[in-house]
Amino acid sequence: ASSDARTFRSHGIPVLQYGPAELATIHGFDERVRVEDIVLAAKTYALTTLRYVGVA
């Protein structure tokens, strides 16, 4: 995964990152994410977007 958060933070812009992750294995040899966590993140992204545009 990749993010521009570091660039924004270096310019003093606050950043909030959200996504599925196994903190114990993140960026490690055996990095993995549970399918259930990916589904939950996708639902969260969708609902947040719908609420943001005033549909939900």
Domain count, the chain: 1
Say if 40 falls within a structural domain.
yes
This prediction's pTM: 0.69
- Residue environment code for 9-30, b if the CB has 16+ CB neighbours within 10 A, otherwise e: eeeeeeeeeeebbeeeeeeeee
Say if 50 falls within a structural domain.
yes
Say if 5 falls within a structural domain.
no
pLDDT at 49: 96
Say if 33 falls within a structural domain.
yes
| Both structure tokens of 35 | 């399918």
Say if 3 falls within a structural domain.
no
Model pLDDT for residues 1-56, shown as the tens digit of each residue: 578 999 999 999 999 988 888 888 888 888 889 999 999 999 999 999 999 999 87
pLDDT at 1: 56
47: domain range?
Answer: 19-56
